[in-house]
């Protein structure tokens, strides 16, 4: 006697991979920040996820991270304004815990040392670094996304 019927009636479930679409311009973001603990300019490139309604919701995954040079315009600005930390902390005991009281102390929080005009200037420098990194690493990041099974398009709009 042979088994008849289709696969579902026999309890077999097939896996069908569907490629998700990532719009490089809208779904891939680069977060550039100053790590005061280690006195390093860092970046993380990440892809955002969407909820069931199609609205941006949360971080899906980080595709790359790295360190920026102090010779960059952002690094030069922070150095020129003398708002950098004294240097990397060699001991975990020397690192203040990020509590409400330490974040309210100007000597421990970079932003509290700056005027509103300087904060806007730094944010513009962060944004220009983000754009520069997205352009510089475009081919590498697109290949990584494709290797993860994503269909990468330039823009959704």
DSSP 45-111: EEEEEE-TTS-EEEEEEEEEEEEE-TTSHHHHHHHHTT-S-SS--SSGGGSPP--HHHHT-TTT-GG
pLDDT score at 1: 45
pLDDT score at 123: 92
Phi, psi of 129 (to 5 degrees): -65, -40
Q: Round to whole Å and give the CA distance between 22 and 25.
A: 9
pLDDT score at 65: 96
pLDDT score at 54: 82
The CA-atom distances, in angstroms, between 35 and each of 17, 45, 56, 133 are 39, 16, 26, 18
**Assessment of whether the complete model's pTM goes beyond 0.85:** no
pLDDT score at 49: 86
Render each residue's pLDDT in the chain as its tens digit; 157 residues. Answer: 445 555 555 666 555 555 688 899 999 999 999 887 788 899 999 998 888 888 888 888 999 999 999 999 999 998 898 877 776 665 555 556 666 666 677 766 777 888 899 999 999 999 999 999 999 999 999 999 999 888 899 987 7
Q: Which residue has the tokens 């099974």?
A: 149
CB atoms near residue 124 (< 10 Å) = 13
């Amino acid at each position: 006697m042979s088994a008849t019927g289709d696969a579902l009636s026999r309890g077999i479930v097939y896996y069908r991979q569907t490629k998700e679409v990532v719009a490089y311009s809208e779904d891939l973001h680069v977060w550039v920040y100053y790590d005061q603990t280690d006195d390093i300019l860092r970046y993380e490139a990440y892809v955002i996820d969407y909820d069931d309604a199609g609205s941006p919701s949360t971080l899906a995954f980080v595709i790359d991270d790295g360190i920026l040079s102090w010779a960059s315009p952002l690094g030069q600005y922070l150095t020129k304004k003398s708002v950098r930390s004294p240097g990397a902390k060699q001991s975990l005991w020397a690192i203040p815990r990020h509590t409400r009281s330490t974040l309210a102390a100007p000597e421990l929080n970079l932003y509290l040392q700056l005027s509103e005009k300087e904060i806007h200037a730094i944010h513009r420098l962060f944004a220009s670094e983000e754009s520069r990194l997205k352009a510089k690493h475009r081919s590498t990041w697109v290949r990584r996304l494709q290797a993860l099974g994503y269909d990468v398009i330039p823009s959704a709009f």
